[in-house]
Amino acid sequence: METHPYNSKRGFVLVVLVLIAAVPFSLQYASQHSGFYLFSRRFVEDLPKRLTGPGRFRFILQPAVAIFLGIRAGISDARARRAPYILGVLFDSQGRRALLKGAFEQLAVLIAMSILLDALSQFLILHEVFPGPALIVGPVLIALPYSLTRAVTNRIVGHAS
C-alpha cells in the first residue's frame, strides 16, 4: 500500500502541531505533580477510562488494519524468501534499516492517525492531552500487531510453499 508523500507529510505536520500544543499542559502537570503524567500513578489509573471511553473502537480498528498490512507484508516476505520480519530487525544488522524504513513507509499515515486519535481520546476522556502517552500508546497499537503478524505470516506461508 503506497502512501502519497504529501498526505504523509501533512499528517505528521498535524501530529507535531497537536503535540506541541499539548506540551505546556504536560509541563504544567509535571510542575504541579513533581513528575510527568506518563510515569505517574494517574496514568495507570486512567488506562481503564481510555479502554471504555470515547474512541475505544480504535483499540480494535487500528490493530486490525495493522494486522491486515502485516499479513500482506509477510506474504511478500515469504515469496521473496526473506527471514521473518522480527528476526531480520533484531539480527540482520545490514538489512535492519531497510526493513524498518519499509515498514515505516507502509505504516506512516496509520501511525500518525493513531497518535492523533490517542490525543483526541485523551482530550475527550481526561479533558487534557499529554504528548508522551500519545506518542507511545498510539504507535504500540500499530507496531506490535504489524510486526508479529508479518513474522508469523512469513513463517506460515514459507512452510506451506
Which of 141, 105, 110 lies closest to 15, judged by CA?
Answer: 110
pLDDT of residue 51: 81
Phi-psi region of 87 (alpha: psi -120 to 50; beta: other; left: phi over 0): alpha
pLDDT of residue 67: 93
Phi-psi region of 97 (alpha: psi -120 to 50; beta: other; left: phi over 0): alpha
Q: Is the pTM of this model over 0.75?
A: no
Q: What is the Cα 44 distance to its own chain's centre?
A: 19
Q: What is the CA angle 80-7-76, rounded to 5? A: 10
What does the pLDDT profile of the chain (161 residues) look like in tens digits?
444 444 567 777 888 888 899 999 889 989 999 889 888 899 888 888 888 877 788 888 889 988 998 999 999 989 988 888 888 888 988 988 988 888 888 788 788 888 888 888 888 888 889 999 888 888 888 888 988 999 999 999 988 76
User: Quick check: 65 and 112 in contact, CB under 8 A?
Assistant: no
pLDDT of residue 1: 44
- Domains in the chain: boundaries: 5-160
pLDDT of residue 7: 58
* Distance in angstroms (rounded) separating the CA atoms of residues 115 and 137: 8
User: Quick check: 86 and 148 in contact, CB under 8 A?
Assistant: yes
Helix (H, G, I), strand (E, B) or coil at 35: coil
* Distance in angstroms (rounded) separating the CA atoms of residues 55 and 33: 27
Cα separation values, 39 from 30, 52, 154, Å: 10, 21, 36
pLDDT of residue 8: 63
- 5-21 burial, b if ≥16 CB within 10 A, otherwise e? eeebeebeeebeebbee
